[in-house]
Amino acid sequence: MESGFAIALVSFMPAKSTHQENLIPADWAIGQLPGLTEQDASRLANLGIQTTRQLWQQAHSSARRHWLSAQLKLHPKYVNKWAALANLAQIPSVGCQYCGLLLHTGISSPSQLAQTPLDRLHRQVLRFYVTNLQRRDLCPSREDLAQWIQQAQALIRRTTPCTHSLEVTE
């Protein structure tokens, strides 16, 4: 994998805005997905998967995830996790920076995030930061979390195939 590739493929990241109806799903270089080794990214690239959107398109159904895990000779739990992360990373304000956080707090899809009340999301995220990092001050603000929810809702309203829910199984 070329070293400059991971930086070159960052998609549209809108500034904070109340106009969410024209929201474009974000697309990231596959190497930016958290928990993905360079070797895994290279193996995905060999299958033509170089971005998070391509991964989601290839892994949005159970049958496709099983096919992909067989091609990669990996346990399906890894492909399931990567697919959930890629799905969450479509939310521009979440991206690859916070998709892992959401998955760790029990949110596995944009549709689930869109239905999560702000207070509950804030409690879950704050609990994660305090428990795992002992750093309450690093927790994203309620305003940021509200933006995540609003953008997830906007993506769901777009009703594109890329916003379908994914159940993550181990």
- Picking from 97, 89, 103, the residue whose alpha carbon sits closest to that of residue 52 is 89
Q: What is the dihedral of CA 158, 116, 27, 85, to 10 degrees?
A: -130
Over residues 46-104, the pLDDT tens digits come to: 999 999 999 999 998 999 999 999 999 999 999 999 999 999 999 999 999 999 999 99
Report the alpha-carbon distance of residue 83 to residue 50 in Å, rounded: 13
Whether the pTM exceeds 0.95: the reply is no
- Bridge partners (DSSP) of residue 51 are 29
